[in-house]
A and B are shown apart, each in its own frame.
Chain A
Amino acid sequence: MTKFIVDGEEYSAKPDENLLQACLGAGLDLPYFCWHPALGSVGACRQCAVRQYANEEDKTGKLVMACMTPVAEGARFSVADPEAAALRASVIEWLMINHPHDCPVCEEGGECHLQDMTMMTGHTTRRYRFTKRTHRNQDLGPFIKHEMNRCIGCYRCTRFYRDYAGGRDLDVFAAHDHVYFGRHADGTLESEFSGNLVEVCPTGVFTDKTFSAHYARKWDMRGAPSVCTHCGLGCNTTVNERAGKLRRILNRYNGAVNGYFLCDRGRFGYGFVNAPERIRTPRARRADGAQADVNRAEAMARFAALLGAGGRVVGIGSPRASLEANFALRALVGHENFYPGVSTREGALLRLIGEILGAGAVHAPSIRDVERADAALLLGSDLPNAAPRAALALRQAVREAGFAPSAKVEIAPWHDAAVRTYAGDVRNPLFIATPAPTRLDDIALDTLRAAPDDIARLGFAVAACIDPAAPAVAGLPADLAARASAIAQALLGAKRPLVVSGVEAGEESVIQAAANIAAALRGRGKSGALLLNVPECNSLGLALLAPERPGFEAAFAEPPALVIVLENDLFRRAESLALDAALAATRLVVLDHSESPATHRAALVLPAASFAECGGTLVSAEGRAQRFYPPILAQGDVREAWRWLGEAGHAAGRDGCGWDTQDGIVAALASALPCFAAVPRAAPLETFRIAGNRISSEPHRFSGRTAMHAAQNVREPKPPVSADSPFSATMEGYYGKMPPALLPFTWAPGWNSAQAINKFQAEIGGALKGGDPGVRLLEAQAEVALGYYTNIPAPFAPRPGMWRAVMLPRVFGDEEQSARAAPLRERMAPPALVLNEEDAALIGAASGEMLACALGGEILHLALEIQPGLPRGVAGVAGLAASAHALPGWVRITTAGAGVS
């Protein structure tokens, strides 16, 4: 640690920090704009001026920019120096010259970094009497609102969008005080990280369009710490609610997981919670065959009667439901009757992933670990589409190669512009082997376009190059062998090599090959990491809960008397005809939050709470169990799925369903299954209090308390008390230093914007005070060794007249819940069949023409998209996640006319 002195007080900081970071870390307030902990310093805004003294005798000193000044041992500074303070106030005054003062009609108002910094510097009176410059705005698509008049020219947006996230279509135009941040023309921002502009922009130039449609001020919304449910990475989010409606999703800082950024699927995919297709009341099938609403007591009686009717009761769990809900179902039907609600193919891949990670022989990296990798291989996984936040981390990993050469000439890593200029295009090696081009190809050292079988062979060959004890691949073409050797050398030469694969690779062999590489690296004494991505928020949790079975289709082998489906649309996961027949032969109970084909077939539909209405625990792809809490409190008959199941079990007289609190069921889960023993430590218990107080879930200036519900009844209702969380339902309670897993919203005195998070961090840009939330269930152990998989597939051989259909993931639309959100639907492209030019010519179809192919028991008509990168003999299916259960597979493709005839 380096000691430094500010205004006579001694503080300590890490030696590679800049002074601004160090001051914020020490809890001092120093205004800034252009610096961002994840983006580094460029010294553009001149806002963080402080006085630096050469030594103890020096009384004059000089003004320096804190963000551009390294912290040296014993360095002396003054933040309170009158001249420095006056300069900071002047800088704000200049920045405010053109600011439109439209805060009342600005979505950022009340959580605006510019407002905070203006208050902090004490600039209160406007002296400028002349005219303001104005700009025209652009339509930036369904996610982002643009109001350029508010811009203060800090360049954070383009630095994030272009330098950090690799976007191309946002840039700066014009010059001097005319600078304009936007696209070359109106149009949707292409990057899947555009939503972060809302939080990166220190003022209201880029605001959340989806939030604006049902806007509320930050101080008026209840917050809850939550976990994103739209992919397997488990990014932490803050969910805001007012008047029973989910208003928005914000990033919640977790130093080990998502840091400061989310992807657009996570940020804008919440619409399903407020959607009209939500199930709000229980429904039961009447004697005439139609479904009718019933009250809670009757629903419960019917459920108990169905359970008590005898026969085999099968429970089908869900990869998007919490551990608690899945465990409740497993306890209700017995583990021998519990099936994971995934397709058999996906289940086999998940089981394999569970087996590899569960063995404890390889390190499953957090997103932060991915960011630190210095060589990476993407094996079969289109990460930017399947798990965008991890791809963003990978982009940083590649870029961090510039730090070492810069350090040799004494350029600190936070010196962003200098590092990028000096290091230029120095990159850590990234190898990508996927069927179709990815959005990381621009930074890859080498890319291979091949069918999954060939990708697996490449992986096996890499493992064999690293460790001769690994099974060798026979008959590998010379160019592939050379590539494998180059990849092996790069991974061996790295300190923290990383291999990435996942369910999206489609084939077990690809994941096995990735595991072999990780094992081989370990065999050579390298601490390699293996990221195996999973498609849904609790896929891994479900795989660990039901490791014996790959999918639910086996449940119908012997017709069950009753099937209970938990938060799942089974028709996305199996061939619909066979499933229809199987479900027609049994009685069906569905617990879900939204309508689906399965709910319409059910004898009893129970309204389950979505992630915004109940608490729960999810296990992310790295094996991190994380707790989420509800911002929306009890709403009519909508209840936690585990409560429905527990009460039904109790009513039917089944044993082992006796939990009535969240903590109760988590404790039962932890004691029943050893792999979940650590889950209760993921977050504090319901009984957690600070000085006898619950944590307040509403900001202290929450308004309208006595008027919000006055239209229904002027007498204010008693606020609900949650038995499942340590939060109070109102602004009453404790807010301040608290366990980071419970942070309901970020606020600190003088810091109303999201940047208040610096008050909760133990180290700026590092871990939170009290440790990053979540508990890792699958740590690698030194003594465990992973055997090699030996099942090397034969080389891919195209079949005449047939194509190997593989799933091409898409960031928008593939995930079931977010695909219900209207803004996301605007970004979803129609499904397409992707072929390369030669294959398209073979069929005689032009781009955009409708093609027919038989997939999953039905004929699909898909528009042709020509993708030159795709290997011959491979057909990509994009935008059809509901048919993923049939992929990969061999298909015949005909032009639609021929297919129909």
Chain B
Amino acid sequence: MLSSLRTLWYTFLHLFQRNVTVQYPEQMPYLAPRYRGRIVLTRDPDGEERCVSCNLCAVACPADCISLQKSESEGRWYPEFFRINFSRCIFCGFCEEACPTYAIQLTPDFEMSEYVRQNLVYEKEDLLISGTGKYPEYNFYRVSGLAVPGKDKGEAEHERAPIDIRSLLP
């Protein structure tokens, strides 16, 4: 008896508390830029694909929902295909953490429900965006050693010009 009255009393008190219901979708919630939502592939500041198809996102993925195939053009590595099965994705962000080129990023978009599960399989065309995402400056090929069009050997950051192998001078 006492317990029932106590329950009724607490319920009554709730009438005076602030309403927490948000009128989604009319009223959109604020999501921080680092929110872990839909995954995108970004481009470097020169507009080239950032993904070098290193497979680290795929191996970091606990749901094993990323699959890609490396291909190569003029020294640059690209994914021939890049597929994320969002019906398996748990949005943990490990792929973003593993990515050495800032190519794969999670965005604050979470509205990706589908009636047909097959439509949750995103290919590279669906994932690739035109911008740099959260990291506007970084360009992997300016840092790493491979020679690519527009950056020859020795032209990356912290590199000396290539060695003349026929010289014995220090």
Our pick among B72, B101, B117, B160 for the contact of A104 (Cβ within 8 Å) is B101
- B residues contacting A by CB (< 8 A) are 52, 54-56, 58-59, 61, 63-70, 72, 77, 81, 83-85, 87-88, 100-101, 117-118, 120-121, 123, 140, 143-147, 153-154, 158-168, 170
Q: Is the CB of A703 within 8 A of B168?
A: no
Chain A: number of interface residues, binned into ranges: 35 or more
Knowing A134-B163, A706-B88, the reply to whether A215 touches B153 (Cβ < 8 A) is: no
Q: Is the CB of A102 within 8 A of B167?
A: no
Asked if A571 is an interface residue, CB under 8 A from chain B, the answer is: no
Minimum C-beta distance from B12 to chain A (A): 50
Chain B residues, CB < 8 A from A707: 58, 64-67, 83-85, 88, 121
Q: A174-B163, A710-B83 are in contact. List 15 more A-B contacts (CB 8 A).
A: A100-B146, A104-B54, A131-B160, A133-B163, A134-B162, A147-B145, A215-B70, A216-B55, A703-B67, A704-B65, A707-B66, A707-B84, A707-B88, A710-B85, A715-B117
State in angstroms the CA–CA spacing of A178 and B160 once bound together.
12
Chain B residues, CB < 8 A from A180: 163, 165
State in angstroms the CA–CA spacing of A715 and B154 once bound together.
48
Q: Is the CB of B100 within 8 A of A104?
A: yes
A-B contact pairs, 30 of them (CB 8 A): A104-B56, A104-B144, A105-B54, A131-B158, A131-B159, A133-B163, A134-B154, A134-B159, A135-B153, A149-B145, A149-B153, A173-B165, A174-B167, A178-B165, A213-B72, A214-B69, A216-B69, A220-B55, A220-B58, A243-B69, A701-B59, A703-B61, A704-B61, A704-B68, A707-B58, A707-B66, A707-B121, A714-B117, A714-B120, A715-B117
Q: Is the CB of B158 within 8 A of A130?
A: yes
> Can you list the 9 inter-chain pairs with the closest CB atoms, starting with the nearest?
A100-B145, A704-B67, A104-B54, A707-B67, A703-B58, A705-B64, A102-B144, A149-B145, A180-B165
Our pick among A102, A705, A711 for the contact of B145 (Cβ within 8 Å) is A102
Closest chain B residue to A99, Cβ basis: B145
State in angstroms the CA–CA spacing of A855 and B128 once bound together.
61
Minimum C-beta distance from B160 to chain A (A): 5
Our pick among A104, A175, A703 for the contact of B64 (Cβ within 8 Å) is A703
Our pick among B67, B101, B170 for the contact of A708 (Cβ within 8 Å) is B67
Chain A residues, CB < 8 A from B161: 134
State in angstroms the CA–CA spacing of A462 and B18 once bound together.
107
Q: Is the CB of B159 within 8 A of A704?
A: no
Minimum C-beta distance from B162 to chain A (A): 5
Closest chain B residue to A109, Cβ basis: B54
Knowing A174-B165, A219-B59, the reply to whether A704 touches B64 (Cβ < 8 A) is: yes
State in angstroms the CA–CA spacing of A220 and B53 once bound together.
13
Chain A residues, CB < 8 A from B66: 703-704, 707
Minimum C-beta distance from B92 to chain A (A): 14
Q: Is the CB of B163 within 8 A of A706?
A: no
Chain B residues, CB < 8 A from A135: 153, 162-163, 165
Knowing A104-B56, A132-B160, A220-B55, the reply to whether A714 touches B118 (Cβ < 8 A) is: yes
Asked if A136 is an interface residue, CB under 8 A from chain B, the answer is: yes
Closest chain B residue to A708, Cβ basis: B67
Chain A residues, CB < 8 A from B154: 134
Chain B residues, CB < 8 A from A132: 145, 158-160
Asked if A150 is an interface residue, CB under 8 A from chain B, the answer is: yes
B59, B61, B167 — which one has the most chain A CB atoms within 10 A of its CB? B59
Our pick among B117, B123, B162, B166 for the contact of A173 (Cβ within 8 Å) is B166
Asked if A176 is an interface residue, CB under 8 A from chain B, the answer is: yes
Minimum C-beta distance from B109 to chain A (A): 20
Chain A interface main SS type: loop
Knowing A101-B144, A174-B167, the reply to whether A714 touches B87 (Cβ < 8 A) is: yes
Knowing A104-B54, A703-B61, A704-B66, the reply to whether A175 touches B158 (Cβ < 8 A) is: no
Chain B residues, CB < 8 A from A243: 69
Asked if A713 is an interface residue, CB under 8 A from chain B, the answer is: yes
Asked if A217 is an interface residue, CB under 8 A from chain B, the answer is: yes
Asked if A406 is an interface residue, CB under 8 A from chain B, the answer is: no
Q: Is the CB of B153 within 8 A of A105?
A: no
Chain B residues, CB < 8 A from A100: 144-146
Q: Is the CB of A212 within 8 A of B52?
A: no
Q: Mark A100-122, 1 if CB is under 8 A from B, else 0.
A: 11111100011000000000000
Closest chain B residue to A704, Cβ basis: B67
Closest chain B residue to A220, Cβ basis: B55
Our pick among A130, A182, A212, A219 for the contact of B72 (Cβ within 8 Å) is A212
Q: Is the CB of A714 within 8 A of B121?
A: yes
Q: Is the CB of A174 within 8 A of B166?
A: yes
Q: Is the CB of A178 within 8 A of B163?
A: yes
List which A664-682 residues lie within 8 A (CB) of chain B: none
Q: Is the CB of A105 within 8 A of B59?
A: no
Our pick among B65, B120, B153 for the contact of A134 (Cβ within 8 Å) is B153
Q: Is the CB of A176 within 8 A of B170?
A: yes
A103, A136, A149, A710 — which one has the most chain B CB atoms within 10 A of its CB? A710
Q: Mark A211-234, 1 if CB is under 8 A from B, else 0.
A: 011111101100000000000000
State in angstroms the CA–CA spacing of A704 and B140 once bound together.
24
State in angstroms the CA–CA spacing of A369 and B107 once bound together.
63
State in angstroms the CA–CA spacing of A219 and B154 once bound together.
32
Chain A residues, CB < 8 A from B87: 714
State in angstroms the CA–CA spacing of A180 and B69 once bound together.
32
A212, A702, A711, A715 — which one has the most chain B CB atoms within 10 A of its CB? A711
Q: Is the CB of B145 within 8 A of A150?
A: yes
Our pick among B56, B83, B168 for the contact of A175 (Cβ within 8 Å) is B168
State in angstroms the CA–CA spacing of A706 and B54 once bound together.
18
State in angstroms the CA–CA spacing of A219 and B56 once bound together.
11
Chain B residues, CB < 8 A from A710: 65, 67, 83, 85, 121
Closest chain A residue to B121, Cβ basis: A710
A136, A182, A212, A216 — which one has the most chain B CB atoms within 10 A of its CB? A136
State in angstroms the CA–CA spacing of A258 and B120 once bound together.
48
Q: Is the CB of B55 within 8 A of A105?
A: no
Chain A residues, CB < 8 A from B140: 104
Q: Is the CB of B85 within 8 A of A174?
A: no
Minimum C-beta distance from B148 to chain A (A): 9
Chain A residues, CB < 8 A from B52: 104-105
State in angstroms the CA–CA spacing of A182 and B163 once bound together.
13
Knowing A102-B145, A105-B52, the reply to whether A220 touches B65 (Cβ < 8 A) is: no
Q: Is the CB of B159 within 8 A of A706?
A: no
Chain A residues, CB < 8 A from B72: 212-213
Closest chain A residue to B56, Cβ basis: A104
Minimum C-beta distance from B135 to chain A (A): 15
State in angstroms the CA–CA spacing of A776 and B156 once bound together.
56
State in angstroms the CA–CA spacing of A100 and B83 once bound together.
29
Closest chain A residue to B117, Cβ basis: A714
Q: Is the CB of B117 within 8 A of A706?
A: no
Minimum C-beta distance from A736 to chain B (A): 21
Chain B residues, CB < 8 A from A102: 144-146
Closest chain A residue to B77, Cβ basis: A105
List which A412-453 residues lie within 8 A (CB) of chain B: none
Closest chain B residue to A104, Cβ basis: B54
Knowing A100-B144, A147-B146, A176-B170, the reply to whether A217 touches B160 (Cβ < 8 A) is: no
State in angstroms the CA–CA spacing of A182 and B84 once bound together.
41
Chain A residues, CB < 8 A from B61: 703-704
Minimum C-beta distance from A639 to chain B (A): 27
State in angstroms the CA–CA spacing of A809 and B40 once bound together.
55
Q: Is the CB of A711 within 8 A of B100?
A: no
Chain B residues, CB < 8 A from A133: 160, 163
Q: Is the CB of A216 within 8 A of B70?
A: yes
Q: Is the CB of A704 within 8 A of B58?
A: yes
State in angstroms the CA–CA spacing of A178 and B168 once bound together.
8
Q: Mark A694-734, 1 if CB is under 8 A from B, else 0.
A: 00000001111111101101110000000000000000000
